[in-house]
Amino acid sequence: MVEDFYDRMKKEQELLNMSYKESVRQKRERDKKKKIKKKRRWEDFMPFYSQWYWTRDWLGRKCKAWYHGPRINWMFLERWEKKRKKKK
């Protein structure tokens, strides 16, 4: 009778340990997903960019123009990109 009690207690403890390990694993997975979400930048969600550039109007005067759309080769989104282009 005493052995049955101890056997039951052992089984219950094993179940609790398994349950705890599973909950810890699930928490780690949730934390990984949160970290992945935090690493995303706003550019990942917006495939369009707005940028101004200098151009000439129909009278030949210099003026600013706006571009809004997907990224094109001439666009400089960061200062280091412009510096790299000048060095080449």
The domain limits of the chain are: 1-39, 43-87
Cβ atoms of 49 and 68 closer than 8 Å: yes
Give the HSE-up count for residue 46: Cα atoms under 13 Å, Cβ half-sphere: 8
pLDDT in tens, 27-82: 888 888 877 766 666 666 667 777 888 889 889 899 998 888 777 776 766 666 66
User: pTM for the complete prediction?
Assistant: 0.35
6 vs 76 pLDDT, higher one? 6
